[in-house]
Amino acid sequence: MTQKPSYKQYPKEFKEEAVALVTEQGYTVPKAAEALGVATNMLYRWKENVEKQKAGITLSEDERTELKSLRQEVKTLRVEKEILKKARVDSTLSNATVSAMQYAPCVMSWALAHLHIMLG
């Protein structure tokens, strides 16, 4: 069995400080990446993500967490709605059965007799 490769994960603060080296202190991305011991393309990606967040294009971590929570809530509510729909249909069918028994006793007795013959 092969194991999934493990990647080093960096804290949010580390990423922010790495991007600040480039945006605020004038380091080039390759020089900052080398000084921090991270891949250049990774630092470019972090910088791009920070720029998108500042521009309002992407979601912050808090917004992402809230979105995930809201999606789970919607999923739960949809399941509950389906359960209630099925309960309403079952209730309607039960009421129809009661109505049939009240208004058509001969049909019910015929159906029961045939059911008894079929099972019997």
Please report the DSSP string for 52-116 in residue order.
HHHHTSS--HHHHHHHHHHHHHHHHHHHHHHHHHHHHHHHHHHHHHHHHHHH-HHHHHHHHHHHH
Is 12's pLDDT higher than 80? Answer: yes
pLDDT at 40 over 60: yes
**Structure-model confidence comparison of residues 29 and 113, the more confident one:** 29
Q: Picking from 38-47, 95-104, 106-115, which range would have the lowest pLDDT averaged per residue?
A: 95-104
Mean pLDDT of the chain: 81
**The predicted structure's pLDDT at residue 47:** 94
DSSP assignment letter at 57? S
Of 57, 38, 40, 37, the residue nearest 49 (C-alpha): 57
Residue 58 reports pLDDT greater than 90: no
Judged against a pLDDT cut of 70, whether residue 82 lies above it is answered with yes
Q: Which residues of 51-64 are buried (b: 16+ CB within 10 A; e: fewer)?
A: eeeeeeeeeeeeee
Q: Is the separation of the CB atoms in 19 and 46 below 8 Å? A: yes
pLDDT for 6 equals 74
Whole-number Å distance between alpha carbons of 64 and 69: 9
- Which DSSP category does 3 fall into? P
- Give the pLDDT score at 18: 93
